[in-house]
Amino acid sequence: MTAPAPDPLDTVFAALADPTRRAILTMLLEDDMAVTDVAEPFAMSLAAISKHLAVLAEAGLITQEKRGRVKWCKLEPDALRAASVWMQGFGQFDPVDLDAFERFLETELGPGDGV
């Protein structure tokens, strides 16, 4: 007997649980970025950042594409839709507004920190 596939919501919420991954999403709100540029502000190895990016990609929050020798990351803005719909089911949450989400992250992480 095989284990059931993880619920996509579980994957999204697990990806959002880590502050480094939330900071990466904030950075990608501005524009697509090369993996090396994503890694720049963090005090961790490129391999560690790549693991964070893999988690975000697995959750569908970002996509990665190779352009020449450079791997680029792109935010998938509709990826939070299912989580937003789920939260609306409780009747006390508004739909996810990505601009408000960005402001929240800047408040939590500090403006312009990139972390």
Q: Which domains does the chain have, with CATH numbers?
A: 8-91 (1.10.10.10)
pTM tops 0.75? no
Residue bearing tokens 């693991």: 51
What percent of the chain is modeled with pLDDT above 90? Answer: 56
8 A C-beta contact, residue 115 and residue 109 = yes
Residue bearing tokens 């919501």: 9
Q: Which two tokens stand for residue 53?
A: 């990016």
Angstrom distance (rounded) from CA 60 to CA 14: 12
CA 16 to mean position of chain CA atoms:
6
Instruction: Express each pLDDT in 56-88 by its tens digit.
Output: 999 999 999 999 999 999 999 788 888 888 877
8 A C-beta contact, residue 26 and residue 20 = no
Angstrom distance (rounded) from CA 68 to CA 40: 20
pLDDT band at 112 (very low <50, low <70, confident <90, very high): low
